[in-house]
Amino acid sequence: MIYLDTSVALAHLLAEDHRPPGEIWQETLVSSRLLEYELWTPLHRRGLAESHGDAARSLIGRIAILELTPTVLARALEPFPGSHPVRTLDALHLASCAYLVGLGQSVTLASYDRRLVAAADAMDLPIFEPADR
């Protein structure tokens, strides 16, 4: 299963120069409920909610959404391995990944965020390399 970070979802929605390969959408995708908020906020900020809203809803509908349960939130309060500080929203994504791993799921992180990837690597999470397309 691929844990989809918001950076990859936004790159896909906004057809940025760096966007994930088409085969990622054939995989089982999961993300935190946080993804939904992190998608809509920049769309509203950029005035793109109307033009990209259907695509955003469709994308969210293709992803298994993990709720921010007390267990996930508690893990986000704990320190993460690695030499760089983890930002708040990254901690929530990493805690969501850790929760899934704790349930015995095989989770691979897809992200363009170098700090998030470094933290996930320090946690020994496999990284999906969403090569530029």
Domains of the chain, CATH where assigned: 2-128 (3.40.50.1010)
Tell me: the pLDDT tens digits for 12-28?
A: 999 877 778 888 989 99
**Is the full-model pTM beyond 0.85?**
yes
Q: How open is the CA angle 85-89-93, to the nearest 5 degrees?
A: 95
Query: Is the confidence at residue 89, as pLDDT, over 80?
Result: yes
Which residues contact residue 27 at a Cβ distance below 8 angstroms, ignoring those fewer than 6 apart? 1, 2
65 φ, ψ (degrees, to nearest 5)? -100, 125
Beta strands in 35-94 (DSSP E): 64-66
Tell me: the pLDDT tens digits for 101-116?
A: 999 999 999 999 999 9
